Structures are given as structure tokens and as C-alpha cells.
Chains A and B, each alone.
Chain A
Amino acid sequence: MKPLVAAAAPIIPTFGGGAKAFACERANRLFCWNWFSENWSSILWPALRQHVVLCLIAIAFGLAISTALALAAYRHRWVERPVIVVTAILYTIPSLALFELLEPLPGFGLSRTTAEVALVSYTLLILFRNTLTGLREVPEDVRDAAAGMGMSPRQMLARVELPLALPAIIAGLRIATVTVIALATVASLIDDQGLGVPILTAISNDVFKTELISAGALAVLLALFADGLLVLVQRLLTPWARARIP
């Protein structure tokens, strides 16, 4: 972990050039458009890309694991309790601590793995509970009719139960996604990737506001964008949920 200490004396970003340029940066005003556009492709855009990749991997694994667990709990009731206990503990442990606790384990260390494992841990509780609840809330008469028509359990799952559980699953996915995107800024302590990097750099530069706000805003915008995207996905996948009497 890189130790970070706010510098005692102001450090002015130097990018070469004369004294007149970078007046905005030197004054550390709220937002220097110039700096932003100059450093977009070298700092901000790569960080954003890395952030997206980091989060996508975490969400994908989180979804896969929690769905598998939820399906198991759906078939065998006893699975629910232990899973809830473990995922709740993981969820409760503050992110900083979880990152550190994972670090000394073999194969982890200051790497992508540690960051991903920690991020995935935060998604499990929400995704597991939502998926399980979604499955359980499939109406009893629908299940009876499906069985009575001759669907095998696997067919029922694929054609009836999972599709009907989608709204709840996607709701959980929205929450998990936004959470991960915000949390991943701290993950850069471990992995040196993502939007947390410019944030931490800015902090160590006597809190260079422009860089901080740029990266922070990008994270927020990314999260809102992802949330909106998932809402769209839900509308596409569940047209029946919004059907009104014509």
C-alpha cells in the first residue's frame, strides 16, 4: 500500500511552459478546463477505461457466484442461512480493512486479484438476496400450472422462474453496480488502476482540485450511466412488467 500524506507545501503541477500558463492550476481553482482537456487522454481516459474493466469483472463474477448460490438455496433451503451469514460479514467489513486482510494471503498481494475479490465480496449479499427473493416470489399458481403442463424442473427454471425473477435480479444488479463503481476508487490503493489513481494523485498534490473533481465526477457519471443502462436493459427484457390495459 502506498502511504499517502498530504504534502506540507503546495506542489504546483509543472508541465513545462511559461509562467502565464497554468495560472489556474497554480491557484488551485475549482476546475481548470485547460488541465482537464490536456490531461484527458493521458490520465483521465485511461483511468476511466481501467475503472470500467475493473468493475465489469467484479460485477460479472459477483453475478455468477450469487446466482449459483441463489439457485442452490432455492432448491435446498438450508443453504440460505450460511450464505447470508458469510456474505453479511463480508459486506459489513469496511473496504479498507477488507483490502488489507486479503493482501497477505498467498496469490493476492498488491494485485488485481485482491481488488477484484474484495469488490466481488461487496456485491454478494445484495445479489444473492435479490435473486433468491425474486425466485421465491414467482406466484404459486404459475408454478403449479407450469408443472401441471409437463415442464421439467430445469425447463421451469429457464422458461418461467428466472424470467419472472428478472426484475428483482436487475434491481439488485443496479445497486451492486453503483456500489462497486464507487468502491473501486478505493481499490486503486491496491491495484493502481482505475479512477482512484488520479484521485489519490490529486490528494497527494495538496489536493489538486481539478484532478480530484474530474476523476470524482467521472466516477459518479459512470455510476449513473451504468444505472440508467440497467434500467434500459430491464425495460427491454421485461416488457410484460409495464404492460397496461390498452
Chain B
Amino acid sequence: MGTGADPMSNFTQAFKFIGRNGQIPGDPPFPTLVHLSLETLKVASLAMGISLLIAIPIGIWLGHIHRGSFIAINLGNLWRALPSLAVLAIGVAFLGIGLKNVLLALVVLAVPPIITNAYVAIDQVDAELVDAARGMGMTGWQILRRVELPLGVPLVMAGVRTAALFVVSTTTISALTGYSGSLGEIINDESSYHLYGVLGAAICIAALALLLEGLLAGVQRALTPRGLKATHAVSGSDALAPVVTEPSVEPAL
């Protein structure tokens, strides 16, 4: 199977495939695209949910007490070097194929960027502001809630967005290790779906990711305190990949 056919016809057929919700006339029914998309989202959401529960409190707490910078920062650097495919496969090797192992691998991959960004976000809140707050008589908890968290939102969200995109991407890759609950399943099975089917799935994945990114950008805007919005012109891509001169924090996919 390959690029023998004219690319335009491949893409046209791909869109038709999408229009048919992933079914191919004359073939036995396949899981629909809608179903697979939802499955993908389900897995991704579960993974993100677990990761957020673990990573956000840890990252924020470490940043608040200004400890653990070595770990928080190097975790981020190490994480970027992990090939997601290998991590997934290791999960399969030890736990077999299944939702649980995929989730485990996804959490392992999602937690580091969230922790790192959350840590830096809180740690780097202007020390003078924190000092002023303490001088006003706020307790540590109040400082966290009223000063550090609101100011840290952009960077924390940057980490969350990075992790979310990475999780969606890796979920689709999990099909390569035999997990069949995502859109990647179609890409893995070109013989059944033909090239145009694979293309259709790819288009869906891309669309899903872009939609998700847009959604999260909206969430970030909603969570960013009004005063901050005025001063920090955080454009869409700025949070996606904040410019850093020291690669301790960053998003990357």
C-alpha cells in the first residue's frame, strides 16, 4: 500500500471515510470514528486526571516552600528525553496489554512537565509581592491561594497544556503496542482500513488535538486573573511553548 494513487484522491477518500464515521462499504462494521475519538479522549482524560491529582499539589507545594528545585528542574529535562513509545512498551512488558498499563505509562509521561512548570510558576512569583503579602499578615496558605496561585496560572497552565497534548499524542501511539482503544488503532491497521482510512484517522487526530489545544487556551484565559491578562500578553503559542532561556521549564512535545 502506498503512494501509488494520486494524493488528491487519497485525501478526498479520507474525508469521505470520515463522513462515513469510519465505516467502509462492503466491509464488516468497524468501531466508529466517533467511538474511537471518545475512547481516545477517555483514556487521555483519565490519564490527565490522575496526573493532575499527583503533580499539581506536589509541584505547587515545592514551589511554595522553595525547595526541591534540583529535582523539579532536572525531572523536566529528563522527561523530555524519554521516548514515549519505549515507555509504553515497557508498561506492556510488565503489565500486559490493557487500559491500566497504558494509563500508567501516560501518567509517568504526563507528571514531569506538570510538576516542573507548577514548581517554577510558584517559585518564581515575585519575592517582593510575597513579602508584601506576609507583611500584611497573610498566612502561608492565604499567600498561596491569593497571591502565588493566581500569578502562577499562566505557567502552570502551560505545563498542563503541554502534558495534555503529549498525552493525546501518546494515547494514539499506544496502538502500536497493541492497545486498541484509540484512533491510533486505525493507523496501526492499514491493511484493513487502506491508506485513505489511515489518512482519515490522522486528520481526526490532528483535529482533536487542535480542538483540545484551543479549549485549554480558553480555560487558561478564563483562569487568568484580569489584571494579569492586561500586562501579560500571553498569546496562544506563548503558553504552548513559553520562551525560556534556561531550559528548566518547558513544554515540548
Contact = CB atoms under 8 A, between A and B. Distances in A.
Is any CB of A less than 8 Å from a CB of B in the complex?
yes
Nearest to B173: A96
Nearest to B167: A94
B93 A209 contact: yes
B106 interface: no
Interface residues of A, number: 67
B120 to A, nearest CB: 14
Contacts of A133: 243
Contacts of A216: 83, 86-87, 89-90
Interface in B215-240: 235-237, 240
A219 interface: yes
A105 B7 contact: yes
Nearest to A94: B169
Given A5-B178, A104-B7, A212 B206 contact: no
B85 interface: yes
B82 interface: yes
Contact of A97 (B2, B3, B202): B202
B3 A199 contact: no
Given A95-B173, A101-B202, A212 B89 contact: yes
Given A1-B190, A93-B206, A171-B247, A199 B240 contact: no
A162 interface: no
Contacts of B2: 109-110
- What's the dominant secondary structure at chain B's contact region? helix
A133 B244 CA distance: 9
Given A88-B240, A96-B184, A203-B176, A213 B90 contact: yes
B3 A109 contact: yes
Given A168-B245, A203-B176, A129 B237 contact: yes
Interface string B196-213: 001101110110011001
Residue of A88, A182, A199, A209 with most partner-chain B CB within 10 A: A182
Contacts, number: 198
- What's the dominant secondary structure at chain A's contact region? helix
A182 B82 contact: yes
Contacts of A176: 252
Contacts of A175: 80, 244, 247, 250, 252
Contacts of A92: 165, 206, 209-210, 213, 240, 253
Interface stretch (A39-47, A152-160, A220-228): A220-228
B177 interface: yes
Contact of B173 (A108, A167, A186, A227): A186
Contact of B172 (A87, A94, A171): A94
B149 interface: no
B168 interface: yes
Given A178-B80, A182-B82, A91 B240 contact: yes
Interface of A: 1, 3-6, 28, 84-85, 87-89, 91-98, 100-101, 103-106, 108-110, 122, 125-126, 129-130, 133-134, 167-168, 171-172, 174-176, 178-179, 181-183, 185-186, 189, 195-196, 199-200, 202-203, 207, 209, 212-213, 215-216, 219-220, 223-224, 227
Interface of B: 2-3, 5, 7, 10-11, 77-78, 80-87, 89-90, 92-93, 97, 165, 168-169, 172-173, 176-178, 184, 187-191, 195, 198-199, 201-203, 205-206, 209-210, 213, 235-237, 240-241, 243-247, 250, 252-253
> Which 7 A-B residue pairings sit nearest by Cβ, starting from the closest?
A216-B86, A94-B169, A223-B81, A6-B178, A100-B202, A97-B205, A185-B83
